[in-house]
Structure 1
C-alpha cells in the first residue's frame, strides 16, 4: 500500500487530496469559530450601545446589522480559503445582487423602512401603538418586520414598509390618557342635572385624575339628542376599564334620574292602493 502511494502517478493525487482536505478542514474550522465570534461580538456591540444610553430598539437593530455584516465577511473569507478568487466572487455577487435586488425589492423596502424606524424612532420596544388598525405592545423591531403583542395576547407581525407608509399612533409617550364619552340626552331632559350627575360620578372615581380636572360640555344639538362631551384623564394602565365602568355608571344614574338617552326611531306610514295614507297606529290596528 505504501509503495502504491509512493508511486509517481499516485503521489500527485495524494498530495492534491491532502491539500483539498486541508482547505476544507480549515474552512470548516474558520466557519464554526467565525460564527461563534461574530455572535459574541454582535452581542457585545449591542450591550455597549445600550450602555451608551442609546434607545434599546436602535441598539438591538444595529446589533443585528453588525451580526449580518460580519457573517458576510466571514463567508467571503471561507470562500477565499477554499481557493475561489475573490475578484471573480465579487463579480458573481454583483450580478447576483442585481438580480436578487430586483426580485426582492419589497424585502429591501422593508430593510430601508427598518432603518427609518430606528432613526426617526416613532416608537420603541415596550410602547403600545396602533398601526394599520392593529393595537399592541411593541416586542421587537427587526430588519424586515416589527412584532406586536396584541391586547388578547396574540402575536401581530407587520412588515416595516407597511408601518412607514401608514399612520402610527403611539399611546405610550405620556403617563395618562384622556377618556372621552359622547352621550346624548333628550331635548326635554334637564341639561344641568345630566352634567352635574356625570361630573359627580367622575369626581368620585379614584382612578380619574384630578389634574386635568374632569369636564362635561355640551357638544352639539344633534338630530334627535343633546350630545354631552364627558371628559377626564386616567393612567394608561387604568384607561380601558375606567372608560367602560364610567359609561355603565352614567347610564344607570341617568336611568334612575329619568334622563333619557335617545336612540334612532322610524315611523312607518302605509299607503293603500286607493292612495289613502294610514297612520302608524291605524296600520298596526289593521
Structure 2
C-alpha cells in the first residue's frame, strides 16, 4: 500500500499542474470560442447574410475551433497529436474528393447567398433558362418559368455562366420588333403604336416610348418599340403590346407582312 500510495502521490504531483492548466485552457478556450462565434454572428446579421447559410457558417467555425482546442489540450499532456492530425487531414481530403461536385455547388450557393446577384422574386436568365427565382438553396436555385414549370439549376452551373438579372433594377425596358408592309404609311403606323402603348396600364408614363424604324427588311419595314415597365410587369406589357397592336393595325388597315414571294410571268 505504501508503494502504491507513493506512486499515486508522485503522479499527482507530476500531473496535477498539467491537469489544472488543461482545465483552465479548456474553460478559457470555450469562452473565447463562444465570444468569437457571437462576434461572427453579429457580423453576419449586419451584412444580412441569408438565414440558410448563417447557421452552417457558425457551426463550421465553432467546431473547427473546438477541434483545434482539443488538440492543443491533448498536446499539453504529452500526447503525440501529429498522427491524429494526419489521419484527420486524410479523412477530410477523402471526403472532399468524394463530394467535390456537391461541395462545389455548396460553395457556389454560399457565394450567391452572400453577394446576392439576384434574390427571390427576381426575373433572371440562368443557364439558358428564363424564370422567376422561387428559392435559393445551398446546392440549387429554383426557377419558375412563365409556363409554370419548375427548373432546378445547380449553383455551380449558375456561378460558372453569365447571370442575367432582368428585374434587378426595378424597372425594365421591353424591347420588341413589329413590321409593316412597304406600301404602308410609316407615320400612321407609329401613331397606332404610340396609342397602343399609351393604353397599356403597365407601361410607365415617366419615360418615353421609343419607336424607331430599325430595319428595312426583305419583306417589311421593322419598328423597334421600347416601352418601360416595372420588372414584375415585363410579360404583361410584352403580351399586351403584341395582341393590341395586331388589333390596332387591323383597324387602321395597316398590313402586317409575312414572308412571301411575288412571281411575275412575262409572255
Fold conserved (TM > 0.5)? Answer: yes
Which of these residues, 116, 121, 134, is aligned with residue 121 of structure 1? Answer: 116
**Aligned residues of 2:119 and 2:133 also touching (Cα < 8 A):** no
1:89-108 matches, within 5 Å, as: 89-108=84-103
User: Distance between the aligned counterparts of 2:182 and 2:234, measured in 1?
Assistant: 31
| Relative contact order higher in (CA < 8 Å, ≥ 6 apart) | 2
1:1-286 matches, within 5 Å, as: 48-49=42-43, 51-52=45-46, 54-57=47-50, 60-70=52-62, 88-134=83-129, 135-142=131-138, 144-151=139-146, 154-266=149-261
Query: Cα offset for 1:124?
Result: 3.1
In structure 1, the gaps of 5 or more residues are 1-37, 270-278, 280-286
User: Distance between the aligned counterparts of 2:93 and 2:83, measured in 1?
Assistant: 16
- Match of 2:255, SS state, is coil
In structure 2, the gaps of 5 or more residues are 1-33, 74-78
Change (3 A) 1:164 1:248: same
Query: Cα offset for 1:150?
Result: 4.2
TM-score using structure 1 length: 0.65
Query: Cα offset for 1:71?
Result: 5.4
- Match of 1:202, SS state, is helix
Change (3 A) 1:146 1:215: closer
User: Distance between the aligned counterparts of 2:147 and 2:61, measured in 1?
Assistant: 37
- Match of 1:174, SS state, is coil
TM-score using structure 2 length: 0.69
